[in-house]
Amino acid sequence: MNIGRIILSSILVVGVVAVIGGVVVGLAATAAQPERQEVVPRPTAVFVTEAEPTPIQLAVRTQGEVTPLTEIDLVSQVSGRITYVNPSFVNGGFFEAGETLVQLEDADYRLAVTRASALVAQRRQQLIREQAEAELAREEWEALGDGEASALTLRQPQMAEAEAQLAAAQASLDEARLNLARTRISAPFDGRVRTKGADVGQFVGPGARLGRVFSTDRVEVRLPLTNSELATLAMPLAYQANANDRGPLVQLSASLAGETRVWEGRVVRTDSAIDPQTRTMSAIVEVDDPYGAAAEAAGAPLAVGLFVNAEIEGRSIDYAYSLPRSALRGSSQMFVAELDGTLSIRNVTVADSSAERVIVTSGIEAGERVVTSPLRGAANGMLIRALGPDGEPLDPEPEAEEDAEAEDEVEAIASQAGARTR
């Protein structure tokens, strides 16, 4: 009796479980499956600038130091004690061409001139006497002699000796006068004193260095140029300016006393050889009258030893694009934002570049939008959204109705799935 009840209860439990399982399976089988929504990738926002063609004047920027075109050591050619030094003969002093800078004691040299002058007078009188005796010998031979007189009879050797002695005496006088003039030491140009090496009372000998001076009529600046910079300037390695080609214009600038000063010069030649250390070729720029007219124009002289920045005028391009340096990717690529919202990677020809700008001659077209902001994982066809310099989108937003329909559809699907689950 008990066994029968247990069996009956077990059968009832199994049946109930089977019925519940069947109901669950049926509901799961008949329930509508939620539709899988495709995820649309969001476009990447990028800043762009419009490519506008314009004539471009290329330029090369470099640096160099101002040096004098003419600089010499002031050297004594004779010996003597210094008796006078020009007040301008000090470090940084200005002087004029031919102005006495140092005077040596000249008493001995004046005496030498006097002795040489006396000897010249003596030799001249000897020559006069010899000329008279030779004339007398010629007259006597004409009166008493027979045939042709010998050179000795006419005293020609004595005449030649007297003339030679007079010439030697005259040379000694010229030498004495030259040594006397050399006691007065000057420079053949207007200039400035770089260093002073002697003073009053000092005895100096021939070859003694009294100081170092340089000319102020012109200075030069050596500007190192790479091979690509020479190409930008369209300048040959062996360049020399002439009357028909005055050379590229150069703007030299430096900060003096808190203000930027600018001087103008011209490239007059290139260096004779490539620097073996830097592998660059130097262009020589000259500036006329750096302490006069050039100083008045700039408001300050172009002082020797000054380190300056230089901008050299290069070749002209009639049709090119000047873009921010950030637009260049690698050495020769740019990203262009197409009107359909996709990215296009272009190979471009770069004519010149600096830290701020890049000059492109081909690879992009007028009016195209060039990407200037960083962009990771760039690929052709990538979805992007172009923004102007102010950060505003350049293309219209998707219509609000389409956004609303998409939101309603998503909400409906979510509600249906929830109801069926319940």
pLDDT for 417: 41
**pTM, rounded to two decimals:** 0.70
What is the overall mean pLDDT for the chain?
86
pLDDT for 210: 96
Q: Is the domain 60-68+219-316 a CATH 3.90.45.10 member?
A: no
Question: What is the average pLDDT across 253-260?
Answer: 91
Confidence label for 12 from pLDDT (cuts 50, 70 and 90): low
Q: Which residue has the higher pLDDT, 87 or 30?
A: 87
- Segment 318-356, tens digit of pLDDT: 999 999 999 999 989 999 999 999 999 999 999 888 888
Question: What is the average pLDDT across 180-188?
Answer: 95
Question: What is the average pLDDT across 37-57?
Answer: 85
pLDDT for 186: 95
Q: What is the CATH T-level fold of the domain 79-105+183-216, as seen in this structure?
A: OB fold (Dihydrolipoamide Acetyltransferase, E2P) (2.40.50)
pLDDT for 234: 86
Domain boundaries, the chain: 60-68+219-316, 79-105+183-216, 106-179
Confidence label for 413 from pLDDT (cuts 50, 70 and 90): very low
Lowest mean pLDDT among 245-249, 267-271, 400-404: 400-404
Q: Is the pLDDT of residue 198 over 90?
A: yes
Question: What is the average pLDDT across 96-102?
Answer: 95
pLDDT for 394: 82
Question: Identity (one letter) of the amino acid at 353?
Answer: S
